[in-house]
Amino acid sequence: MFDNLRKAFIYMDELESQIAKIQLGNNKFSNSFIYVLAEKAESGPAEFYMVAEIPLLNPAAADSGRRICLAISSALKRTYRYNDTESAFENAVSQINDELGKLAALGQTQWVDKLSCIIGVKDGPAFHIATCGKVGAFLLRSGEFTDISCSPEQRHPLKTFGNYASGKLKLGDLLILSTAQLFNYLSLDRLLQVLAGPDFLADTQTIIELLKQNAEPQIGFGVLLNMQVPQGQAPETEVDLEDYVVENHGQTESFFAKSLSFVTTMFSGGKSAARQPQTALPKIGFRQSLKNWSGTTRNFAAKGLGIWQTAKTSARAVKSGMNAQNFRQFSAQKKFLIGSIAVLALAVIANIAIAVHLKKTKAQDAQIASQLSAAQLLLQDAQASLLYKDESSAANYYAQAKSKMPELKSVPAAEKTLYTQISGQLQTLQTQMEKVAQADVVNLGSLAKGGSLIALPQYLAVQSGQDIVSYNKQSGQISDGGLKSGVTIVAGVAAGGTTAAVYDGTSLYIWDYAKGSLGPGYSQSMPAQNDFGGMAYYPTNNRVYVADKKSGQVVSFLINKNTFSRPVVAIRNQDLSKVSSLAIDGAIYLFNGSAVSKYLAGASANFTMPNLSAGLSGASKIYAQKGFNNVYILDGGNNRILVTDKTGNLLETLESPQFNQPSDFAVDEAAKIIYVLNDGSLLKVVLP
């Protein structure tokens, strides 16, 4: 069918699409759910088109219809995001069939044998199309229509889109993708007459006028018209005929609209002011003309300002021409007249001010209602994307929805309930996206405030002054002075056996905490305390790694009996000025203030930070070890612990009311325990 047209098509690289999107009918009142999509790919030249219709048994089913349509469009866009090749459309159709099959298997079958849908992709001059159900897909070329729909005669329960077709477009071609209802109210001959006009957008507006005049209010239409024009002739901004839709079916007319209808009837001599169908350019109705009339509401405020200026000028003139002595000489009638004029002037001014204020308030309320409605729709899109595991799209929709939310103080009383509902939905969606779980927390007792947590095989300790307060993991006891170091410990890491590597602000030491002995200090290639960016021990090569913020290097030191030797640069020439924590499990992880950087063999490696509504705070620590499955991030400023895989995919976010000032932590992944130093107390978090 469509393939037979290929020989007649002329291949042209310099083609652009001029698109008109028509969607009439309110889904709350219509007997079918209509979905229309016309969108460019995030990357590459592809353009996505979709027109879908699902019959509605009741208005509540519209949300289900929206989810089905979003599943189809998300699968289409997702396939082209990762596979923009000649086989991309075939893969997209297969992916869409799989998604719809999964929905049916989950019991969402209300759309089966009812969905009518067109999906199309224009990639340069190539056009690909797949259809199912009763739809209208036509190519208008040289004044003749060709049916390019390819719906299978019999539907397969697991293969909604059974066929697809491809071909090449040429200059002047017009694609018409529509729900079937269009041709119940507008024949192909009539459509050809309408589209023969010189102005594509005016022609499409005529189609809207004809449909609105002839179709019942409960009938919905979805139409995409795609005209191929020379390069550079398409408008730079998207043209959407929603701008031409004056009113939606099923909505009650406002008082102002009813008043306009009355005035229209009066000026037409009592005759109906309804427009008659036409095939030329659309007639400009009375309401449309009224928008340009000098006495409309748009100019009312300006006129009121002019009246106000005139009143002020008159008042100054009266004041200059009168004084109290002259006023006392006036007769009672003149005094009454002047007083009446003054009262009337004040009343006019007050009424103008009130009218302007009410108009401004009404406009603000309408804008807030529109913002809330847009946020609600974006949240539905985000939830649908999350359902189909398209997390990047969900995060994008969530961010857009959040940006639409107005300040609470500006929300009118009538919209407060909806505002609260949407705010709750935002919070719920954030929890779902960030996989928030309440941590199982036990307070093990108080250590000491300040300093860092020294994690040893048997002990967890904090130095306060010259004393070390430690928690014994085996006995569960906290003791003061049980461990002795002899130096101020700025940072320390276990280094095998009963030894630890400790840093005092200038040098590294080997500390035997069981004996309380300290080896000689090692200061070669060691940063000053202000340039120290964290340290970690890697048992495979028996080395301690230290981040130097000033030199932009990570240097490792070999442990040699009770001291260190042979410093080796592991990472060089990097911006480490904001690094505050380091971890190593074979790869080196650096926390740099707001994100995590990963390095393998000195080169940058893949670690993508998860989408978070609140970014990482500067008061964060990172923890990983050889043999660990995951990477752990303590986000102290946001009172949470993030658990990711080794490429940054978020697995879980742990929160607890007991996290109020977390400053350091240590993880025992084998025992499924995280120890958190929180405002001087030691907390034990049990991992699920």
pLDDT digits over 3-35, tens only?
Answer: 333 333 333 346 788 888 888 876 556 778 889
Residue 623, pLDDT score: 96
Answer whether residue 622 shows pLDDT above 60.
Answer: yes
Residue 604, pLDDT score: 92
Give the DSSP per-residue string, 427-439: HHHHHHHTTEEE-
Answer whether residue 448 shows pLDDT above 50.
Answer: yes
- Cα-Cα-Cα-Cα torsion 73, 76, 77, 80, nearest 10 degrees, comes to -170
pLDDT digits over 110-129, tens only?
Answer: 788 889 999 999 988 889 99
Question: Of 572, 579, 649, which is closest to residue 603 (Cα–Cα)?
Answer: 572
More confident position, 434 or 60: 434
Mean pLDDT, to the nearest integer, of 581-599?
93
Taking each helix axis from N to C end, the angle separating 62-82 and 88-105, rounded to the nearest 10 degrees, works out to 140
Mean pLDDT, to the nearest integer, of 38-63?
84
Mean pLDDT, to the nearest integer, of 266-273?
40
Answer whether residue 64 shows pLDDT above 60.
Answer: yes
CATH superfamily of 11-244: PPM-type phosphatase domain (3.60.40.10)
pLDDT digits over 632-649, tens only?
Answer: 999 999 999 999 999 999
Backbone angles phi, psi at 296, to 5 degrees: -75, 175
**Identical fold, 11-244 and 437-686:** no
- What DSSP character marks residue 526? P
pLDDT digits over 373-430, tens only?
Answer: 888 888 888 888 877 777 778 888 888 888 888 888 888 888 888 899 899 988 888 8
Residue 190, pLDDT score: 84
Mean pLDDT over each residue of the chain, to the nearest integer: 81
Do 180 and 116 meet the contact criterion of CB atoms below 8 Å apart? Answer: yes
**Domain ranges across the chain:** 11-244, 331-431, 437-686
Answer whether residue 267 shows pLDDT above 70.
Answer: no
Mean pLDDT, to the nearest integer, of 666-682?
95
Residue 315, pLDDT score: 60
Answer whether residue 576 shows pLDDT above 90.
Answer: yes
For the chain, percent of residues with pLDDT exceeding 90: 36
Answer whether residue 249 shows pLDDT above 60.
Answer: no
Question: Of 531, 535, 596, which is closest to residue 570 (Cα–Cα)?
Answer: 535
More confident position, 208 or 57: 208
Q: Which residue has the tokens 């102290």?
A: 636
CATH superfamily of 437-686: TolB, C-terminal domain (2.120.10.30)
Answer whether residue 291 shows pLDDT above 60.
Answer: no
Alpha-carbon span 438 to 79, nearest angstrom: 36
Which of 52-66, 371-385, 441-455, 640-654 shows the lowest mean pLDDT across its residues?
A: 52-66
Residue 67, pLDDT score: 86
Answer whether residue 189 shows pLDDT above 90.
Answer: no
pLDDT digits over 163-179, tens only?
Answer: 888 888 888 889 999 99
pLDDT digits over 319-378, tens only?
Answer: 554 555 566 666 777 677 777 888 888 888 888 888 888 878 788 888 888 888 888 888
Residue 471, pLDDT score: 95
- What DSSP character marks residue 109? -
Residue 309, pLDDT score: 62
Answer whether residue 242 shows pLDDT above 50.
Answer: no
